[in-house]
A = this chain, B = another copy of it.
Amino acid sequence: MLQGNAIIGQSGGPTSVINASLAGIIEAARDPRAGAPAAIGRTLGMRFGIEGFLQGNVIDLGAEDPATIAALRATPSSALGSCRHKLQEADFPKILEMLRKFNIRYCFLIGGNDTMDTIHRVERYCRAQGYDLIGVGVPKTVDNDLCGTDHTPGFGSAGRYVALSVKQAGMLARDMKRVDQFVVFQTVGRSAGWLPSAAALAKVAEDDAPHIILLPERAFDQDRFLADVERCHDRYGWCSIVCGEGVCYADGTPISASRMTDKFSNVEFGAMGGTSAAMMLHRMIHAAFGWRGEFQVCESLQMCAADRACSGDVEEAHACGRRAVELAVAGTSGVMVGIVRDSSEPYRWSLGAAPLAEVALGAKPMPDNFINAQGNFVTPECIAYLKPLIGPLPNYVRLAGAVVN
């Protein structure tokens, strides 16, 4: 059994439950039942991910109050600090130097694609240099676009934030349709449509929001979109639209880059200039029909709303952290913990492991059978997949409204 210290890092954008995974790793590393104390000496933390580690920014997680560690389960954001550092060749000798300096033999990184690629490359480099290091990844991303797992911890809670928001704002739009005629809600997620799809769970009755879901997996066609909006407006008197931030035209241009008029400069008006897909859709609808409406851009709020976290998501995130330690002390390296769906109804899950090399390959888009033929909503198969992850939404009532003449 390899003996030495362990280090934990968090990377990329956070989720509401990323600290539950952190707590799971720390607790398992202290837990004799997991067999960890025989292998793992000190449990250290990287401040600001691999970027901080390269600068020797390391803290002692063993010195933390156990009550703090337990409270991490309900604390959003990345308690260790995060980064988005893409490893350069020159980083590897420096990383090895730090691993040696702190006698680290176990490395746990909680993150998405890029993070899994980081562990994979560090582990491979160390092996080539004759330094024994066990590296295990713990999945995390609200985007749900990681291969090697049925879904990612963090997605369910963010999806719940989206579904709740669209449901509540849809009721408001319905009741205010004499004033405003449409509402556009934008989700994060550049390349995959999992988060906008989660909004579909808000719909119970046919006229409930959302009416239209725009996914990055399908090219945006302005004429078709406006025809869809008009049809919903004719039918309901208002229209609810949900769009992924990364929705693009057929030529690959994001809709968040203005194409409305040449009076606007794309350079200033791109991502750095602060614009959004929802704002562009709002402008299109207003220009076409003259209606009043609003756009909602919550950005990272959907990644950190711990008060809206799904209890199942918290539990899975914590279990993934624990399992990473169990795998590592059993000598397994180069894998990411994955969640296996054993059954959707009733929902049952277990844990597996996927080779990092496979996980790091690329983002997982939504499968074709989850998107309807018109490309403007999701299918019942998609809803069946999402339902246990998002959990039940509140049962709001509607008046019967018996007309008096």
Judged by a CB distance under 8 angstroms, whether A128 is at the interface is no
Judged by a CB distance under 8 angstroms, whether A203 is at the interface is no
Of the candidates B172, B298, B404, the one whose C-beta lies within 8 Å of that of A77 is B172
Residues of B within 8 A of A59 (CB): 399, 401-404
Contact A58 B403 (CB under 8 A): yes
Judged by a CB distance under 8 angstroms, whether A324 is at the interface is no
Contact B394 A306 (CB under 8 A): yes
Copies in the complex: 2
**How far does the alpha carbon of A273 sit from the alpha carbon of B290 in the complex, in Å?**
10
Interface size bracket, A side: 35 or more
Judged by a CB distance under 8 angstroms, whether A82 is at the interface is yes
**How far does the alpha carbon of A169 sit from the alpha carbon of B297 in the complex, in Å?**
13
Residues of B within 8 A of A259 (CB): none
Query: Hey, what's the 0/1 contact readout for A21-57 against B, CB within 8 Å counting as 1?
Result: 0000000000000000000001011011101100010
**How far does the alpha carbon of A63 sit from the alpha carbon of B298 in the complex, in Å?**
40
Residues of B within 8 A of A381 (CB): none
Query: Hey, what's the 0/1 contact readout for A53-85 against B, CB within 8 Å counting as 1?
Result: 000101111011100100110111111111110
Instruction: Give the top 9 A-B pairs by smallest Cβ distance, nearest first.
Output: A274-B282, A77-B171, A168-B304, A78-B175, A71-B397, A75-B396, A63-B402, A60-B402, A59-B401
26 CB contacts below 8 A, A to B, read A42-B404, A59-B402, A59-B403, A60-B403, A64-B400, A68-B400, A74-B394, A75-B171, A77-B171, A78-B175, A79-B175, A79-B398, A80-B399, A81-B175, A164-B305, A165-B301, A172-B303, A173-B300, A176-B300, A272-B286, A274-B286, A274-B295, A275-B279, A295-B297, A295-B299, A297-B297
